[in-house]
Structure 1
């Protein structure tokens, strides 16, 4: 199976142009198909339950990887909009959870204004293009996360995986 990497490479751009008739905006005006991979297949599609981040023994990706588990059919998250998300964050290699909105309650969400730099770049980029009702796996290399510095429970150089549910889009 394949993975789509972000930011778009020439290959992704070519695929986006080829898939223009498929629908589904990515927020930049290009239509992009986001195929499901083995990682996404291991994530629950039940949006009423907290997902778990699976461990991976595959080499960590060097670019942002975005995989839809459930495609939403509501409003799209675009730059400048404020979104409310539920999420679980874990480490790529072990799947060990380091943060989760679910641990604070099933209705707890995180508000993020896309394009405002409120969260790490990979998290923001991974949400862009989602639609309300969707669940997405976002695998973030350290360069788009916290880099080489330790941040709380996250060691420098960590590849992070977030499973994100898009609950609401406003603005």
Structure 2
């Protein structure tokens, strides 16, 4: 009988710690999901002087992408990735190989041009999200068009 009381007390203490997460704290900041209402495409500086990205041309781009933030400067929240110091992304327009907002943002660019493209969630990864991109998140891209060939 003397042994039961300490065992019960220890069991109750363990359950209490388990219920509150065992005392560990999550130090990751919460990601606030936001999205622009519509696709916003803005040329940065001179629009470029080379071939136009149109039709089904094969294009090469460098890009940097951030989560859209309604409160951050230029709406650039958490940095997701950048291709600037690596091989360019190459894809054929109209082949549905990239998210719709990205393809729309590239279409009409001139080689040598740079654009800022704010993409609403429904033209990005939507309710599913993808990897580090949470569900229903808008994105901000800076895109440089390197080539556009038939």
User: Would you say same fold, with TM above 0.5?
Assistant: yes
**1:3-18 counterparts in 2 under 5 A?**
none
Which among 39, 43, 54 is matched to residue 64 of structure 1? Answer: 39
Which among 85, 95, 99 is matched to residue 116 of structure 1? Answer: 95
**1:73-88 counterparts in 2 under 5 A?**
73-88=49-64
Q: Does 1:133 align with 2:108?
A: no
* TM-score normalized with structure 1 length: 0.61
Return the offset for 1:61.
2.3
Which among 118, 128, 133 is matched to residue 154 of structure 1? Answer: 133
Equivalent-residue separation in structure 2 for 1:156 and 1:109 (angstroms): 26
Q: Please, which runs of 5 or more residues in structure 1 have no aligned partner?
A: 1-58
4+ residue runs over 6 A deviation: none
The corresponding residue for 2:82 is: 100
Structure whose alpha-carbon radius of gyration is higher: 2
Structure ranking higher on relative contact order (CA contacts 8 Å, 6+ apart): 2
Equivalent-residue separation in structure 2 for 1:167 and 1:127 (angstroms): 11
Return the offset for 1:78.
0.1
